[in-house]
Structure 1
Amino acid sequence: MSLVLGVCVITTAAAHAATLRPAAPGKHARPAPSQSPQKPPRATLAAKPETVEVTAQRRDFSYPEAQHTPDASTRVTADRLLSRGIVTLRGLEYIAPNLTIQSINGTASTNFYLRGVGFNDFTQNNMGPVLTYFDDVPFIYSGMTDGMMFDMAGATVTPGPVGTKHGMSDTGGEVMLRTADPTDTWHAGAKQDIASYARSRSEAYVSGPLAKGLTFRLSGQTQQGGGWQTNPLNGDHLGDADLWALRGKLRYRPDSHTTITLSGHFTQDDSQVVTGIPIDRLIGTAALPKLAWQQAEWGMRPQFARLIGRPAGLKPGEHNQYWGADLNISHDFGPATLTSISAFNTERRGEYTDQDATAQSQADTYRDIDSNVFTQELRLSSSHSEDRLQWTVGAMYERSRMHQRFFFDYTDYVPARGYMMSTTFGLNQESTSEFGNISYRLPHNITLWAGLLHELDDRSISNLQSVIYGGSTRNFHGESTAANQFAGQIGISWQMTQNAMLYYKMSKGFKPGGFTANNTQLQAQLDPFKPETVLTYEVGFKSDPIPNRLRINGAAFYNDYHNQQILGTVLIPNYGPDSEITNAPKSESWGFEGTIEARPVERLFITQNFGWQRGTFQNFPTVNRAKTNAYYAAHGIWRAINDNFSGVDMGQPKLTLNGSAEWRQPLGHHYGLDFGPDWLYRGSQAMTPGGTGFYRLPPYFLLGAHVTFRPASSHWQATLYAQNILNRHYSESGGQATTVYMYIPGTPRFIGARLSCDF
């Protein structure tokens, strides 16, 4: 038997990979912490000894222990991340239900929507409703995770309020990512992926012992090429990746009770970005360029290049640098385990986007961000999972510092503006929280649990200055906001049989307020938006009606929101409509989601995720951007058309589907061939409250396929794959900067080959 760590596969000479149940220490990262304390009953635990199980076939129903955990989390192995080609956060929406992750104007920055919970933070200076974690470290600014999804051990997507067992409170949920750990024996591996448009992705790692009790792992990746947009005006090419990243881990085990892990990472990203396609001219009468789906126009004036200190002829793209380190110390005292996680992360970002989607300079934007985040978590948990009583207590401290500069070129936006301008500001933020969770297993396999969290958050914005070059300079006084809130969770679960469980839980989530700082012209634009709270009711089930043949999991939910944070609109006199994060006083959403995994015949394996959701505003007064733009187009005067979106749909895709099918064909005793399709469907999405027409993204369906050849003994595998095999034209997101409404187009057909080997 040989262990193939890079792709999380164990193989025997007789067949495909076998699996670990559970993972052997030091071979794979431990599973993500659960948001609920359910444990298998003693009888179940006795039936699942902590041994390595070697079988003649790959175990397709992964994470069997999670079938006894009352949650709606989607857990994904490293092997599945590899087979689906998921190398960025945005790729996770291909494997989880009710999840939307969208690029901000085609850049590396992302917005999350989980069960419809999320908001468009185009300034990227606020905590999102869905938090991203790498190895238990929270990244409150998701852009800081750029380039980190390589050498992975697995991923977990958890919807709903979180924070009573680890980390920070949030309203939408969390994405927990695990990177591969150091190993006690020597291993090394590499992957090479080459595809259409000269796209290349390379990855390698080496891992092993350095001294008694001391192991290490060093891994890295590069991404190059892949640009598929061209400029019809001059034939320029756009969209090539240019990224490299490194990660190192040292793990020291001085004794059997103590583990100390020091990790560090570095990313340099100079990739070009996808530029939008103009859909409709909102202001002015100039004709929009007629572009094919893989074409885009952009342009930078030399004067703007000098202002931002970048070279003339700069293409839309990133110039980003991220680095960080974390120290994880765990000690088992016997009855309890103490864990300390300290982390420091920084970003230095320079990002140029052409937000008018034309060769004119009507909304050329450059963003410069310097920020750092320090987090410290300390938690004490019960050590023995078989005990009826399980508990966790802990505390979290988080501090961030940020300085941003936005530069805008509105020279061709006449007569309304016709100038270049900049906005600069500083942001200081600090929060502390205390949390606890307790569960108890009653007779008849009924478990009760409850959790509580208290959080104090303070943040302030300062030194905001807005400069119109050749015109006025405005200085604004600082603003601050504080929140002092409780969150929590209670629930009950019933393990009806060894293979079936029901649960119900009620959770309250909390997320602090913040600021919108962009194109600031009035002091009132700096008024902070309020904290967001949600009361979530969830009922679900997990079942393996035919063990190792059929698994069906599902959950239904209802969210009752107060002061939901959402991107609204304000009208600035003699300036125009501007985006501003605000609060919808009352709103609600509901829906359901589920996963079906099936092996109807011996060699066919099917996975299908489905999600359905609806949401409406019950009270949301704001400026109606569509009507306000229409009034200006008709009369040439800015007049705010106010509206209340009570009863209006929130706009998130109602139906999402994703899945895959694979046929695994042995080729004699020594080789195997895996092949099959994968698919994704996403319903239409309103990009503004009450959006219709071009303000709503059309639905789309994407189809992919792969063929993988692998030896049964094996240290390597070769794959041919196709993404968007039907070459569908679809829009990933959309938005408005000034004069036009644009769509960010999705990627065309990519055909590629991937070779990976591990020793």
Structure 2
Amino acid sequence: MTLPLRKALFLSATLLGPSLSAVSGACAAPHAKQTGAQTGHSVPPKHSFPSARPVLHEAAPHRPARTPAPQNLQSHNAETIAVTARRTDFAFAAAQHSPDADTRLTADRLTQRGVVTLRDLERVAPNLTIQSINGTASTNFYLRGVGFNDFTMNNIPTVMTYFDDVPFAFSTMSSGLMFDLADATVTPGPVGTTHGQSDTGGEVRLRTADPTSTLHYGVSQDIASYARSRSEAYISGPIAKGLDFRLAGQIRQGGGWQTDPQNGAHLGDADSYALRGKLRWHSDDNRTTILLSGHFVQDNSQVVTSQAVHRLIGTAALPHLDQTQAEWSSRSQFDKLIGRPEGLKPSEHNQFWGWDLHMDHDFGFAKVTSVTAFETERQGEYTDQDGTSRSEADTYRTISANAFTQELRLGSSNPDSRLQWVVGAFYQRSRMKQRFFFDYTDYAARGYMMATSFSMNQESTSEFGHISYRLPHNITLFAGLLHEIDDRSLPGLTSEIFGGRTRSFHGESTAAAQFAGQVGVSWQATKNTLVYYKMSKGFKPGGFSANNTQIQAQLDPFGPETVLTYELGFKSDPIPNVLRLNGAAFYNDFHNQQVVGTVLIPNYGPLSEITNVPKSESWGFEGTIELHPVRHVFVTQNIGWQRGNYQDFLNVNRAATNAAYAKTGVWRAVNSNFAGVDNGQPKLTLNGQAEWRQALTPGLGFDIGPDWSYRGSQAIAVGGTGFYRLPPYFLLGAHATLRPSSGKWEVTVYASNLLNRSFFESGGMATTTYFYIPGPPRFIGGRVSYGF
């Protein structure tokens, strides 16, 4: 049926109630940029209260987080709207026809599951592990078991992070930007033939809300246990004809849950704020769009500190701590050396800012897109890595880095054409300076403070192309190719012992040029069933381990990593709007896989070093089940399983070397070939949620249900067992939400780690101890939001 616009919207709101908000963003922002992140892994619309009523056509909502249905909409191009009576309980319907294993998430699902940092994404995607480095804002990614612990964060990550099509050369640059999101996509496997930068593990793409052509504003306040507070606000609307803006901000405070049993000191409070602004101009015919964005983040938060689990060197007893306890120390001499206040707690002192410029023009036969970006980070991180009140491995790190990227691509503009294609080029230039300060005063074998300083220069270019063609009988062939050249250098490194000698090491450089690509076929077997097969080659450049350097050989660059991935998958809606099943199986054949191995320095001890495994492999599967079995019940379950092993890897056996030292008191390397040894990544990951949705009145709805996640054990050293391996854990959460059909407000109460389980998120080695980073205890909180 066709009605005048306002009358149609009024009638739809009356008939559909809250379901209108699932598509209101498409009407509110007709010029908003449409990306591939909108077509995928489904989540039911937030305001879909079960009732006997029609639902607007299209399941993938495109709207800012918590933005209600707009009022008094005006169309620039038409005065009518078609309303189709079709029930669509699962979101991202169009992506069911895309041959990929992507996990796609709406802003509502991210909010509902409490995804406020990058690390939280592992609770909503299969086969994904994201871990903090020593409890700090710096993160490491593992996807399908592909990844490594880059403790110096000066190398290209195995899994690339994108914000609004901008790849972040150093994942720490994304800290503090997880607010005012539109959606998120997790892509496993080799990438780089359609956009951005080549990588072997995959990518995490986050898209923030764009400006709207009608006025919107909203605020939300989240308060929880341990005086944790999260505040967000946004305003969006027109400035002039064709010119729209959006301004959003976030403040995070409190939430520290660790205490020192020696003196009752408190640790872990957040203290950060962030701002993001966007300005968008579009031509009258909507063929040209220019979007300028900028952001600023200041983070002075305290960090979660480690718990020592094993003493490698020395005889001092380790502290006996419960889940919420930790010990730390900061000597006044060390505070003075690093220029920080006396009594410094483990904490961040970080500042991030950047800008990006998107320009699109549709020529009719093709669309050209340019993405220019500049990102910076200024970090100051203090961590107590020995996990005791002694100064055996206290560390302060400063980082000054920036990255410039430019992408230009040209592709088909008609999504219904049998032929789809894109060609493009990508350029990146990054610069970094780091300085590590170490306090070893209470470590008898050293008894000094020292610093390691280095800088790094990097530049890369790549060209890529991807093409697909739909044959008769719904068969589509696709292929892509990438060529990348990467050059990076470490001009020099200095290691200084204060009150002692200074060592200077000569510079190193490394360069690589490689091809990567993809070829595959998909078949739309039925209207609701897609099967596909593809082979992908991924490439990741080499780099440097540049931490506590004692000998020149430690600065030898590690080589590039390549992987050949075979993937077989399917997507299906066997019972439309009742059951959705998606799954994929994969096999990874690695050459020179980059992992953190061990090097032994004579008369010094073992140190971690990024190295190459000549030959290794991994295999597994992931799947998603979405179920709407009865009127009020909605269930989502992600399943990830992977196994892998090294096929040829000669390296220092850390466990055997440490055991030999414990017996003899002399450091002697014990080398082993780890052929056949498990790669140490979690074999099983599970996460999901169930929800009961009830319409209390014609204009008021109620949601309630649990969520859960499980991660298997993970090695923190090659071949790790015992304390060299993080134990598995299971976490349970729950929420209850009350909201009107207008979507203007909502009230939620929630709990995370409902059973108050003690668990550990990551781990590592300091000079004298092995440590784990504990996860947070139970949090109970409430969230209130309002928008117009």
| Shorter-chain TM-score tier | over 0.9
Shift of 1:677: 0.2
1:659 aligns with 2:688: yes
CA distance in 2: counterparts of 1:608 and 1:714, whole angstroms: 26
* 1:238 match: 267
Equivalents in 2 of 1:622, 1:730: separation in Å? 30
The farther-off stretch of 324-333 and 683-692 is: 683-692
User: What amino acid sits opposite 2:315 in the alignment?
Assistant: T
Matched-pair contact (CA < 8 Å) for 1:532–1:564: yes
Matched, 1:404 2:407: no
Q: By how many angstroms is 1:470 displaced?
A: 1.4
- 2:340 equivalent in structure 1: 310
Within 2, Cα distance between the matches of 1:137 and 1:743? 33
Distance 1:707 1:53 in 2: 34
TM superposition shift of 1:556: 0.1
Quick one: structure 1 residues 458 and 624, their matched pair in 2 at CA, closer, same or farther if it must change by over 3 Å?
A: same
Aligned counterparts, 1:331-370, within 5 A? 331-370=361-400
Q: 1:550 to 1:581 in 2, by over 3 A?
A: same
- DSSP-derived class of the 1:17 partner: helix
Cα RMSD, aligned residues only: 1.9
Offset at residue 710 of structure 1 (A): 0.6
1:16/1:58 contact within 8 Å kept: no
| Residue 568 (structure 2) aligned to one of 539, 550, 556 | 539
State the Cα distance separating 1:356 from its structure 2 match. 0.4
The answer for the alignment partner of 2:352 in structure 1 is 322
Q: Deviations over 1:61-119 (max 9, x none)?
A: 11100000000000000010111111110111111000000000100000000000000
Is the CA contact (8 Å cut-off) linking 1:15 and 1:56 kept in structure 2? Answer: no
Asked if structure 2 preserves the Cα contact closer than 8 Å seen for 1:22 and 1:52, the reply is no
In 1, the alpha carbon distance for the partners of 2:635 and 2:134 equals 35
User: How much does 1:713 deviate?
Assistant: 2.5
State the aligned residue count: 741
1:387 aligns with 2:417: yes
Question: What is the TM-score when the length of structure 2 is the normalising length?
Answer: 0.92
> What is the letter of the counterpart of residue 387 of structure 2?
A
Match of 1:736 among 765, 774, 779: 765
Find 2:727's aligned residue among 693, 698, 710: 698
Task: Check conservation: 2:431, 2:458, Cα contact below 8 A.
Answer: yes
Conserved 8 A contact 1:20-1:53: no
* 1:524 partner SS: helix
**Structure-2 residue corresponding to 1:16:** 18
Query: In the alignment, is residue 617 of structure 1 matched against residue 620 of structure 2?
Result: no
For 1:484 and 1:174, the matched residues in 2 are separated by: 21
How far apart in 1 are the matches of 2:161 and 2:106? 17
1:400-446 Cα offsets, whole Å, 9 max, x none, are 000000000011111x2111110001100000000001111100000
Is residue 149 of structure 1 aligned with residue 178 of structure 2?
yes
Give the aligned residue type for 2:126: P
Whole-angstrom CA distance in 1 between matches of 2:39 and 2:459 = 24
Amino acid at match of 1:393: V
Where 1:660 maps in the other structure, the secondary structure is strand
- How far apart in 1 are the matches of 2:685 and 2:636? 14
Are the equivalent residues in 1 in contact too, given 2:408–2:424 (CA < 8 A)? yes
TM-fit CA distance, 1:32: 3.4
Q: Does 1:31 align with 2:35?
A: yes
CA distance in 2, matches of 1:506, 1:21: 39
Q: Following the alignment from structure 1 to structure 2, what is the Cα–Cα distance between the partners of residues 469 and 11?
A: 71
1:576 maps to 2:579: no
Q: Secondary structure at the match of 2:264?
A: coil
Alignment-derived partner of residue 293 in structure 1: 323
**Which residue number corresponds to residue 63 of structure 2?**
none
How many Å separate the matches in 2 of 1:649 and 1:140?
29
CA distance 1:586–1:624, change in 2 (3 Å): same
Residue of structure 2 aligned with 1:191, choices 202, 220, 226: 220
1:494 to 519, 523, 547: 523
**Of 635, 643, 648, which residue of structure 1 is paired with 2:672?**
643
**Correspondence for 1:203:** 232
Give the superposition deviation at 1:33.
5.5
User: CA-to-partner distance for each residue in 1:526-563, whole Å, 9 max, x for gaps?
Assistant: 00000000000000000000111110000000000000
Asked if the contact 1:662/1:674 (under 8 Å) is kept, the reply is yes
Question: Per-residue deviation at 1:15?
Answer: 3.5
**Structure 1: distance between partners of 2:248 and 2:39:** 30
Q: Does 1:73 align with 2:77?
A: no
Identity of aligned residues (%): 70
Deviations 1:352-411 (A, max 9, x none): 000000010000000000000000000000111111111100000000000000000011
Unaligned runs of 5+ in 1: 4-9, 37-46
Instruction: Tell me if the contact between 1:671 and 1:710 (Cα under 8 Å) persists in the aligned partners.
Output: yes
- Separation (CA, whole Å) in 2 of partners of 1:503 and 1:89: 30
TM-score by length of 1: 0.95
1:507 to 536, 555, 574: 536
Unpaired stretches in structure 2, ≥5 consecutive residues:
6-11, 41-56, 61-79
**Structure 2 CA distance, aligned partners of 1:54 and 1:316?**
56
Query: What SS does structure 1 have at the residue aligned with 2:206?
Result: strand
Whether the 8 Å contact between 2:39 and 2:95 is mirrored in structure 1 is no
- 1:14 Cα deviation (Å)? 5.2
1:554-602 per-residue CA deviation (whole Å, 9 max, x = no partner) reads 0000000000000010001111100100001100000000000010001
Aligned to 2:337, the other structure's residue is in SS state helix
Task: Output one character per residue of 1:678-732: Cα deviation in whole Å (capped at 9) or x when no partner.
Answer: 0001111111111000111111100000000011223000000000000000010
* Contact 1:282–1:630 (Cα < 8 Å) also in 2: no
Q: Deviations over 1:251-303 (max 9, x none)?
A: 00023100000000000000000011111111111111111211100001111
CA distance in 2, matches of 1:495, 1:243: 48
2:623 to 585, 590, 594: 594
1:279 to 264, 285, 309: 309
What SS is found at the alignment partner of 1:119? Answer: coil
- In the alignment, is the contact (CA less than 8 A) between 2:621 and 2:641 conserved in 1? yes
In the other structure, the counterpart of 2:138 is: 109
Q: Is the 8 A contact 2:177 2:274 kept in 1?
A: yes
Describe the shift of the 1:297–1:48 C-alpha distance in structure 2 as closer, same or farther (beyond 3 A).
closer
CA gap 1:522/1:499 in 2 versus in 1, 3 angstroms: same
Give the 3-state SS of the residue equivalent to 1:290 in structure 2. coil
Per the TM alignment, residue 60 of structure 1 is displaced from its structure 2 partner at its CA by 3.6
Asked whether the 8 Å contact 1:350–1:368 carries over to 2, the reply is yes
CA drift of 1:627 comes to 1.2
Conserved 8 A contact 2:28-2:214: no
The answer to whether the 8 Å contact 2:456/2:488 transfers is yes
Secondary structure class of the residue paired with 1:395:
strand
Cα deviation for residue 11 of structure 1 reads: 6.4
Q: Distance in 2 between matches of 1:442 and 1:311?
A: 68
Read off the aligned partner of 2:242 and give its amino acid letter.
Answer: G
In the TM superposition, 1:231-270 aligns within 5 A as 231-255=260-284, 256-270=286-300
Distance 2:59 2:570 in 1: 24
**Is the Cα–Cα contact under 8 Å of residues 29 and 214 in structure 2 kept in the other structure?**
no
Q: Could you tell me how far 1:229 is from its partner in structure 2?
A: 0.2
How big is the shift at 1:13? 6.9
Partners of 2:59 and 2:88 within 8 A in 1:
no
| Secondary structure in structure 2 of the residue aligned to 1:477 | strand
Name the stretch that deviates more: 22-31 or 135-144: 22-31
Contact 1:15–1:57 (Cα < 8 Å) also in 2: no
Q: Is the 8 A contact 2:574 2:580 kept in 1?
A: yes
Give yes or no for contact 2:381–2:397 (8 Å, CA) kept in 1.
yes
**Which residue matches 1:44?**
none
Shift of 1:513: 0.1
The amino acid that maps onto 1:328 is H
Distance 1:497 1:57, change over 3 A: closer
